[in-house]
């Protein structure tokens, strides 16, 4: 029975011996989280920009037409 436990602990230790694998997983999770934050920010900006399209005075101030604003905001926020 002690052999079973020693085998189990050695296989567990083997998984934790490679700090590069752990670092790689951490980097992947961090990159995914950062990507999600960027997508959320782009979505908020796109929504706010689309709201500008309803005000001709603001459009004139920024030098864009309603069609240009709608074209920009029609792009997917994840790109």
Q: What is the C-alpha separation between 30 and 54, in angstroms, rounded?
A: 38
Neighbouring CB atoms inside 10 A of 69's CB total 20
50 in a structural domain: yes
51 in a structural domain: yes
What is the domain count for the chain?
Answer: 1
- The whole-number pLDDT of residue 34 equals 94
pLDDT tens string 8-66: 555 555 555 677 777 778 889 999 999 999 989 988 988 888 888 888 898 899 898 99
9 in a structural domain: no
10 in a structural domain: no
Q: What is the pTM of this model?
A: 0.55
16 in a structural domain: no
24 in a structural domain: no
47 in a structural domain: yes
- The whole-number pLDDT of residue 33 equals 94
Helical (H) or strand (E) element with 73: helix 66-73
- The whole-number pLDDT of residue 41 equals 92
What is the domain extent for residue 65? 39-79
31 in a structural domain: no
């Amino acid at each position: 029975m002690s052999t079973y436990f020693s085998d189990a602990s050695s296989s567990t230790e083997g998984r934790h011996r490679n700090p590069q694998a752990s670092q790689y997983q951490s980097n992947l999770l961090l990159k995914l989280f950062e990507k999600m934050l960027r997508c959320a920010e782009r979505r908020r900006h796109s929504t706010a920009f689309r709201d500008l399209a309803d005000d001709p005075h603001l459009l004139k101030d920024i030098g864009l037409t309603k069609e240009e604003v709608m074209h920009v905001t029609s792009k997917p926020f994840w790109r």
